[in-house]
Amino acid sequence: MTRRSPTLGVGLVVLGATLFTVNAGVSRVALRAGVDAAMLTSIRATFTFLILLVVALVFRRSSLQRPTGRLLVLVLAHGLVGVAALQWTYFVAIDRLPVGMALLLEYQAPILVALYARVVLREQVSRSLWVGLVLAVGGLAAATEVWQGAKFDGLGVLAGLAAAACFAAYFVIGETAMSGDGPRLEPLQLILWSFGVATVALNVVVPLTGFDTGSLGDRVSLLGRLDGGHLPLWVVLGWVVVMGTVIPFFAELFALGFVRATTVTVIAMLEPIGVSALGWAWFGESLGVVAVIGCVAVVAGILVAQAARNADPEHVHEAPPALT
């Protein structure tokens, strides 16, 4: 692995995490402009797949090889659950909840992955897993200030928890497909075929032909503190696909050539804090001191739990780049 420029690697991860963070706000703009969550998911998956297909055709044709047998089953599951269902539940959550809260719920996924590894796979993890779990759950309670009777949209909370489960499946299935002694998939091959599966499935359920293309030229409000600003809807959707998906995904993928996957994961896990700050700066979503401490505790718990799993010296597999 190339390590001649770790600064560049960290910079790429920060760029990816920043773009994913901003995309949460841009996606809310699209949703509030009348684009249904399922349709937005279909748009994002379809056009991301087309761009990935072009990249594979030009730079890495080996990624076009169709998975077979066990790998095909994993790709189908990864595409349906780890891409399609994840993106849909994510969009529902950020539409109905404060964006920071939606991300805090979704990023319980690493906790679920660590618990799965301990309970189902019987992996040896350090006791710090339970410390991480307590930090994450307690931090989530503080971030929501539940003792004050705070009420959140029920469907939004369910969507956030479902997104966490789908995100966990994204990591577990992806890790399984790219590791082991038998045939395995390379990262671009896995993502390309997973998005292909998601694109087909989503266009069966919510075909792009049902989208009102006449609305693409409509100028939509940027909401919140940017309410006075307006952009054409096609620009907003273009951002979601290009700047909010393709570029940050490849930034984090290329970063793996300069820094370890664990470094990429640690920096990416700071996204919930970034999105909470975005919610305050853009949408005026207030966070008290206790709530801010809770956000920090959630991320700390996630990192501790992830470190607990990585404590197993035999567990050194590369996970697919996160996509949120």
Tens digits of per-residue pLDDT, 96-147?
888 878 887 887 777 787 778 777 877 666 677 677 777 877 776 776 665 5
- Report whether 29 contacts 221 (CB < 8 A): yes
pTM of the model: 0.83
Q: Write the DSSP symbol of residue 258.
A: T
Q: What is the pLDDT of residue 151?
A: 60
Regions of the chain short of the pLDDT cut 70: 1-4, 123-126, 129, 140, 143-152, 180-181, 256, 260-266, 269, 287, 305-323
Instruction: Report residue 62 as tokens.
Output: 């080996």
Cα–Cα distance between 259 and 242 in angstroms, integer? 24
Instruction: Give strand pairing partners of 221.
Output: 230
Q: What is the pLDDT of residue 14?
A: 87
Cα–Cα distance between 236 and 28 in angstroms, integer? 10
How crowded is the C-beta side of 170, counted as CA atoms within 13 Å? 27
Cα–Cα distance between 117 and 105 in angstroms, integer? 20
Cα–Cα distance between 283 and 268 in angstroms, integer? 22
Q: What is the pLDDT of residue 221?
A: 95
pLDDT tens digits along 15-50? 988 998 899 999 999 999 999 999 999 999 999 999
First to last CA, the chain: 26
Give the helix/strand (H/E) hosting 60. none
Q: What is the pLDDT of residue 2?
A: 46
- Report whether 38 contacts 206 (CB < 8 A): yes
Q: What is the pLDDT of residue 144?
A: 60
Instruction: Report residue 169 as tokens.
Output: 């499946």
3-state secondary structure 79-132: HHHHHHHHHHHHHHHHHHCCHHHHHHHHCCHHHHHHHHHHHCCCCCCCCHHHHH
Q: What is the pLDDT of residue 1?
A: 43
Q: What is the pLDDT of residue 149?
A: 52
Q: Which of 76, 117, 109 is nearest to 90 (CA)?
A: 109
